[in-house]
Structure 1
C-alpha cells in the first residue's frame, strides 16, 4: 500500500518484527544474560494504560497487582510472562497485561518468577504455585481465579495446573494461553513448515532455551516441563491463541488436539499472518485477540454480568 508521498507503507506487523530484530541484533556471544534482560525490558517495557500498579510479595514471589478502576476484589487473573524462562518480566509485559485487565474488567497479579540459568526447573513452577497459594490464602476462591500466560508463561500456566491436579488441590476456573510453549523437545512439524515464515524463532534457538531451563540433567518430555506429554484429564476450560507464522504453531495445534481427546473444553484461535505473542505489539489483530480473551474470561469469571447487575 502506498502512502500520499508515493512510498510503500510498512505493514504494522513488519514494524513489530523490526522491533524484535533490533533487540536480538544487538546481542552476540559476549552479551551477558543480565544485559539481555535489561535490553528486553527497555525495548518492550512501559505502558500508558489507565491502571494502577502495586508491588506485592505473593508468597515470597515478587509480583505486581495491575488493576483498572473499580474492578471486583473477589476476582483475579494470575499472569505468567513469556521469555523462554530466560528473559522477560512484569516490566516487559506490563502493557499487554494492562490491556487484558482493562478489556476484561479484572485485576491481574503478574509475577516475576525465577529465571534460568540461575534458577532452573522447577524453580519457576514452584514460584507459580506459591503465588497461587498466596492468592487462596488471601481469600480468593479458585472459581474466581483464572490463569493466563504467553509462550513460556503459557507453559507455566499449564504446568502449574497439572501440578495442582497431582496434589489434589483446587484448580483455577479457566486459563488463557498465548503462543504456549508446550513441547520443549520441539517435535512439531511447524518447525520445518513455518521456518521461512517465522522471522524470529527457529528450532535451534528453542532447543537452546530448553537446555538453559533444564540444565544437563532435565528431561524435556517430563509432563511438568512439556505439558504436551501430560495426561490432560481434568483441566479447566482453555483458550489458546497462536499466530500462523510461528514455528511453535504445532505446540498449540498438537496440544489442543490432545486436550480435545481428553474431553477438555478448549478453543483454538489461529491468527492469520501473526507472529509469536503478537498480542504485545499494539496491532489491530492484537486488540481483536485481547477482546476475544476478555470475552472468554468474562464467560468464566462472570465479571461483566455481575458489574451490570450491581
Structure 2
C-alpha cells in the first residue's frame, strides 16, 4: 500500500502533537488549543477563495467565498478537535477547498468549546446558526452540514436535532472521519492503534470527559449519533482513512444509515490518517477525495 509523499505531512504533524502531549501530559487547555491550531498547516491556501469574519445566529464564524460560487448554497462547517480544541481559523482552508470544489459558499462555525461549555452547547450553536440562515432566506435543501472528527459528530447530531425541532432538513450531510461513539466501542480503536499517529483511547477518553461533563450519558442520542434511527435522514457522504482508529465509527454509521434507507456513501482511503482532507491542495489523496465528493454532490 503506497501513499503519496505529500500525505506524510499530516502523519508527521500528528506524531509531533502526540510526542508533545506524551512529553507533557499536563498541558493546559490553552496550550492544547494553540497546538491544535496548527491543523491549518497541511492544507494549502485555496486559490480564488475569499474569507470574511462575522457572526451567524450569535455564533462567531468565518465565511469562505469562492469566486463564482452559487451564493444561494451554503455549507455549515463544524470543525474537529474533540469538542475542545480546533477553531474556525484552523479549518478555514479545508472548508474553503470543499466549498470551491462544490461551487458553494461555506460558513465555518467557531462554536463554544468544552470544557467551559459542555454538551449540548455545541449543538445549540449549530442550531442557532441554521435557524439564522433559514431566517435570512436560505432554503434548507440548499444547505449542507459538514464537519470533521468531533465536528463530523456535530454535522450529524445537529441534523437529528433539527428533526426533533421540526425544522426542514438540509439537502446533504458530509462527515470527514466522524467521531460518533462516546462509549468508544469501535473495533478499530485496537486494530488500528499502531497506524493512527494521533487518536488513541486515552485522548478520546479525555475529550469525551470534557464534552459530556458530569451529567451526560455517553449513549445520549444527541452526543452519540450512532444511538439513533436515521430514517428520513438526508443523503450522507462519509470519508475516512484506512489507518485511523475511528474507522469503525464511519463503518457503523454507514451500515446503520443504509439499512434504514439513507442514500449513503462510505469512502475509505487506504493508509490515510484521521481527517485526511486536511491535506486539501497538498496531497493527491485529499484532492481526489474532493473530486469524488463534488461528483456525488452534483448527482443529488
1:53 and 1:65 in contact (8 A); partners too: yes
Runs of 4+, deviation exceeding 6 Å: none
Question: With structure 2 as the length reference, what TM-score do the two structures score?
Answer: 0.93
Is 1:289 matched up with 2:289?
yes
Question: For the structure 1 residues 25 and 60, does the alpha-carbon distance in structure 2 shift closer, same or farther, using more than 3 Å as the test?
Answer: same
Q: Which runs of 5+ in 1 are unaligned?
A: 1-9, 301-310
1:118 equivalent in structure 2: 116
Gaps spanning 5+ residues in structure 2: where?
A: none
Deviation at 1:203, TM superposition (A): 1.5
Output the aligned Cα RMSD: 1.7
Matches within 5 A, 1:116-155: 116-155=114-153
Q: Name the residue aligned to 1:29.
A: 25
From 75, 79, 86, the equivalent of 1:77 is 75
1:115-170 alpha-carbon deviations (Å, 9 max, x no partner): 00000000000000001111111100001111111111110011111111112110
Q: Which structure has the larger Rg?
A: 1
For the residues of structure 1 that align with 2:86 and 2:32, how far apart are their CA atoms? 9
Q: Is the 8 A contact 1:47 1:94 kept in 2?
A: no
Distance 2:258 2:239 in 1: 15
Q: 1:145 to 1:43 in 2, by over 3 A?
A: closer
8 Å contact kept, 1:74–1:140 = yes
In structure 1, what is the equivalent of residue 86 of structure 2?
Answer: 88
Higher relative contact order (CA 8 A, sep 6+): 2
The residue that corresponds to 2:201 in the other structure is 203
- Please give the secondary structure, in 1, of the residue aligned with 2:160: helix
Residue 204 of structure 1 and its aligned partner are, at CA, apart by 2.1
Equivalent pair of 2:39/2:91 in contact (CA under 8 Å): no
| Change over 3 Å in CA distance of 1:43–1:243 after alignment to 2 | closer
